[in-house]
Structure 1
């Protein structure tokens, strides 16, 4: 037995009630008059009442038809308004833009960008989570994320937000004056290295270099292990040991002379901060609005 949908025939009923004509209702609905008439007959059979008085010249609502119209018309109007609102929101940025960003992005992207974004879209909510744990990006409902490009999954769309930077070894001028600079990667075994434990994975980050066109990974040796980038750089500035970082992370220290770079010739390549999002999210108006402001404010 065919399962009856409670909404079967209601669109036809509303169209006929509006026009008081099957033929005109059919034109409005893009259906044949026969199909509209059949839908009405099925609805009346299901309800067990006549909804219209029919003559050869005109139609009019019965008492039952009038009662049904008065009850369902407000709901039908609400549904129509909801559809129109959704259609409009698909063209105009609305709702909440939910972002997850690496801490590094705060001073370089979020702080310079957010005032301009709020000015451009004052009614658009933005929810920012600062975290290096991006593994559950999709399941946790984020619209986009900002992190270092080499960590982004390959099936994501990525847009560069920062100038290219290099990974290298960094130490204070005092440390290099006392212990000398490493000139090849094997020299690192003779130096005190500050190790970094990745908060999102719990492992010790291996230092990566290109040597004779081959990627090599070195697990540094040292007595100090940290899981915070700011602390790691602060210890390096104080001459405690060498760190593996990027010219972007250490840009402030390089500019004021508190850190110096080594082994730049062995850098594994240019990286950067990227805005990333899934292919399913790329056409969201709120995300397009954010990308547009990024393109105007952020210097790449």
Structure 2
């Protein structure tokens, strides 16, 4: 059977199966009911089976029709998505790119990247919402978000925007000089820890480590609890206690030697900042333009 000829009548079949009506299918496809009925009869003759039970009031799938629908509908959806992708690829980026961005990404991603993006796409508008609460991503219509990878929902597509970083304990040189560095997670019981209450969840963040091949989660003990990362790091620099953070969050303090890491060997793994978006948004020209700019402007070597 010729491949193209084999597709004859399938759009009409799918439309009638979806709407259970020849007239409604004709409206959807922009054809006359007679053209729809003719296409279905030709398809049934070619296949040698009856696909629909027809009455004056109702059109319903036969068993053979249902079996055909189950087999071809997923493929039809893939074909439709492919055609939409091809159509989108020919369009120039336009409109407004709406991003929700974790505050941490501002100095490391947004500020260095935005000039290059605006230079490359001067007719494309950008709206940036700075927030660490991303639960409303879909409901509020953002095109993409920037967040730490471990916080991103699994059904999203993610593109790395930073080098991998490690989670560990950090303290000032003065604090470690006065109190010593913890060598094991059990040593943390003897230290003053600055606790972090997550604004998006309201809970106190547990410190996570890998020790002797097992995951260890600790509720830090300390007199100070904050809900702001910058304040937490500032207090640690002043020697008020130890904090649990990442080599990325503390990169400026590490470069200035105002904080030092401890228990890096117990880090639960590498993480990073990622641009994330839904599968349905991946082929938007404005989003592709932003991803291309990210790939060109951000060196992850």
* Deviation of 1:286 (Å): 0.4
* Deviation of 1:245 (Å): 0.3
- 1:251-280 Cα offsets, whole Å, 9 max, x none, are 111111100000001000011101111101
CA distance in 1, matches of 2:189, 2:211: 16
Q: Is the Cα contact below 8 Å between 2:237 and 2:258 reproduced in 1? A: yes
Computed over aligned residues only, the root mean square deviation of the Cα atoms, in angstroms, reads 2.4
CA distance in 2, matches of 1:199, 1:256: 28
What does residue 265 of structure 1 align with? 265
- Secondary structure, counterpart of 2:168 in structure 1: strand
CA distance in 2, matches of 1:99, 1:180: 43
CA distance in 1, matches of 2:216, 2:241: 21
Matched, 1:96 2:93: no
* Deviation of 1:214 (Å): 1.4
- Secondary structure, counterpart of 2:241 in structure 1: coil
Change (3 A) 1:267 1:89: closer
Q: Is the Cα contact below 8 Å between 2:194 and 2:222 reproduced in 1? A: yes
Matched, 1:114 2:114: yes
- Secondary structure, counterpart of 2:169 in structure 1: strand
* Deviation of 1:92 (Å): 1.1
Q: Is the Cα contact below 8 Å between 2:88 and 2:285 reproduced in 1? A: no
- Alignment coverage as a number of residue pairs: 226
CA distance in 1, matches of 2:212, 2:121: 50
* Deviation of 1:90 (Å): 6.4
- Secondary structure, counterpart of 1:115 in structure 2: helix
- Secondary structure, counterpart of 2:136 in structure 1: coil
- 1:129-172 Cα offsets, whole Å, 9 max, x none, are 01000112111101101011111111111111101110000000
- 1:44-69 Cα offsets, whole Å, 9 max, x none, are xxxxxxxxxxxxxxxxxxxxxxxxxx
What does residue 45 of structure 1 align with? none
CA distance in 2, matches of 1:252, 1:98: 28
What does residue 84 of structure 2 align with? none
**Stretches of structure 2 lacking an aligned partner (at least 5 in a row):** 1-20, 36-86
What does residue 280 of structure 1 align with? 280
After TM superposition, where is structure 1 displaced by more than 6 Å over at least 4 residues in a row? Answer: 87-90
What does residue 166 of structure 1 align with? 166
Counterparts of 1:44-193 in structure 2 under 5 Å?
Answer: 91-193=91-193
CA distance in 2, matches of 1:247, 1:88: 39
Q: Is the Cα contact below 8 Å between 2:210 and 2:268 reproduced in 1? A: yes
What does residue 81 of structure 1 align with? none
* Deviation of 1:173 (Å): 0.3
CA distance in 2, matches of 1:217, 1:140: 34
- Secondary structure, counterpart of 1:136 in structure 2: coil
- Length-normalised TM-score, structure 2: 0.71
- Length-normalised TM-score, structure 1: 0.71
* Deviation of 1:89 (Å): 9.2
Q: Is the Cα contact below 8 Å between 2:89 and 2:283 reproduced in 1? A: no
- 1:171-229 Cα offsets, whole Å, 9 max, x none, are 00000000010000011011000000000000000001001221111110100000000
Q: Is the Cα contact below 8 Å between 1:90 and 1:284 reproduced in 2? A: no
- Secondary structure, counterpart of 1:154 in structure 2: coil
What does residue 225 of structure 2 align with? 225
CA distance in 1, matches of 2:263, 2:211: 11
What does residue 216 of structure 1 align with? 216
What does residue 204 of structure 1 align with? 204
CA distance in 2, matches of 1:256, 1:88: 47
Which of 1 and 2 has greater Rg? Answer: 1
CA distance in 1, matches of 2:241, 2:179: 10
